[in-house]
Amino acid sequence: MEVGLEAGHGRLSCDSNNLSYQIFSALENNFLFGYDWEKERLPGGKVRILSIDGGGMHGIVAGRTLAYLEEALQKKTGDSEARIADFFDVVIGTGVGGLIAAMLFANDGSGRPLCRAEEVWRLLAEEGSRMFKPTSGGIFAKFRRKGANFSGKSMERVLKRLFSAKDGRSLTLKDTLKPILIPCYDLSSAAPFLFSRADALETDNFDFRLWEICRAAAAVPGFFEPVQLSSVDGQTICTAIDAGLVMSNPTAAAITHVVHHKQEFPLVVGVEDLLVLSVGTGQFDRAYNYEKVRRWGADQWAKPVITIVGDGISDTVDHAISMAFGQSRRNYVRIQSNGFTDKCVGDTDDPSEANVKMLLNFADSVLKQKGMESVPFGGKRKLSLSNAERLEWFADELVCEHRSRLSRPIPTVVLKQATRSH
């Protein structure tokens, strides 16, 4: 069950007032009679989180993964119109993951998601040559390898068209169906900046246009120039680049948001109240021999170093979250290449037809691979289930949670709804 909050009035519905009464009754009983919270845990269900890594054209891998999940949800519910956004409460994405999140959770104007999951990877496959269009200018030109200098203007045209409402205005964070988080790095403050629907609903100072956010999230140093963007009211300005170097796997940020944002997720006490799917974009398996790398110049080291940092951060976050979930680890599923494949993984910045075909083949191979799980203090272990089978299991959990909310007396999330003055 989801309960609306009247924007601008700070007034919860009757269902939410009843929820508050039950929570404080439990706390009062705990104080007076030693109430066993775990034994008598309020039946609030689990908050469902979707996290999507960054990775340029490797977003095709994440897109194919989510398309497989969406198809599984449609089969299990018997509803051909079922969408990813129907089964998750929060989404977060870094870089191209932010673009995917916005496409899946933006409101198409009728209260339904803007795109199907299949349309996500098709956009990258079919529009990649426009989004990653080579050009010759830019302040980073001298650091780029031949053919890797891209035109931000070309990408902007694609994004403006994609995130345009029927009345011609640009969609903003307020035009999303569920809480959405997209991290960037703000050069003007030298700190991460989190674009958040929750903040946008509180004040226009933090409501930004989706196409600008996605363009900023794609600003990888050495490929796209930084982007200066402002909130819709012009009061907040940041100079943004992709947050991949500091948050390539943004799952921890999403969990932190849910645990501390009690207004929308009042019953979340710990990780046992969460159901998390973290989607990787495929490890960039590259083996370089010593004789090759010892002759590299500074410009040739740039891309491998970015790759190493990104993969290292992703694995570290994955391991930390696995440790945090502990006995509830089954509630956390990470879909990522296990590093053992005879398929070429493709390049992150090459929109050519040949590279797209390579990435599609790699995406299919990731689904067939045996899943990997981080073991607390024990590295990783290969599972008996393939990634596709793990997605099937996760789809069952999502459908079960979705159906149980229809009869659950206590709302799992209390979403604040956007209002516009037109």
Domains of the chain by start residue, with CATH: 52-407 (3.40.1090.10)
User: What is the pLDDT at residue 2?
Assistant: 46
User: What is the pLDDT at residue 198?
Assistant: 93
In degrees to the nearest 10, what's the CA dihedral of 208, 210, 211, 212?
Answer: 30
User: What is the pLDDT at residue 140?
Assistant: 37
User: What is the pLDDT at residue 134?
Assistant: 52
User: What is the pLDDT at residue 182?
Assistant: 96
User: What is the pLDDT at residue 415?
Assistant: 85
How much of the chain is in helix, strand and coil states, percent to nearest 5? Answer: 45, 15, 35
**Are residues 229 and 240 in contact, defined by beta-carbon separation less than 8 angstroms?**
yes
**Are residues 19 and 26 in contact, defined by beta-carbon separation less than 8 angstroms?**
no
Token representation of residue 183: 């991290």
Q: Beta-carbon neighbour count of residue 160 at 10 Å? A: 15
Strand 90-93 and strand 47-52: the pairing is parallel
User: What is the pLDDT at residue 297?
Assistant: 74
**Which residue type occupies 400?**
C
Is 191 in a helix, a strand, or coil?
strand
The pTM is what? 0.82
Q: How far apart are CA 389 and CA 295, in angstroms?
A: 44
User: What is the pLDDT at residue 324?
Assistant: 86
Q: How far apart are CA 177 and CA 162, in angstroms?
A: 16
**Are residues 218 and 210 in contact, defined by beta-carbon separation less than 8 angstroms?**
no
Residues of the chain short of pLDDT 50, as ranges, are 1-17, 19-20, 23, 26-27, 31-33, 35-40, 135-149, 342, 422
Please name which of 142, 68, 48, 27 lies closest in space to residue 387, comparing C-alpha atoms: 68
Is 29 in a helix, a strand, or coil?
helix
Residue among 242, 311, 349, 350 flagged as catalytic = 242
User: What is the pLDDT at residue 377?
Assistant: 66
User: What is the pLDDT at residue 208?
Assistant: 96
242 given a catalytic annotation: yes
**Are residues 310 and 342 in contact, defined by beta-carbon separation less than 8 angstroms?**
no
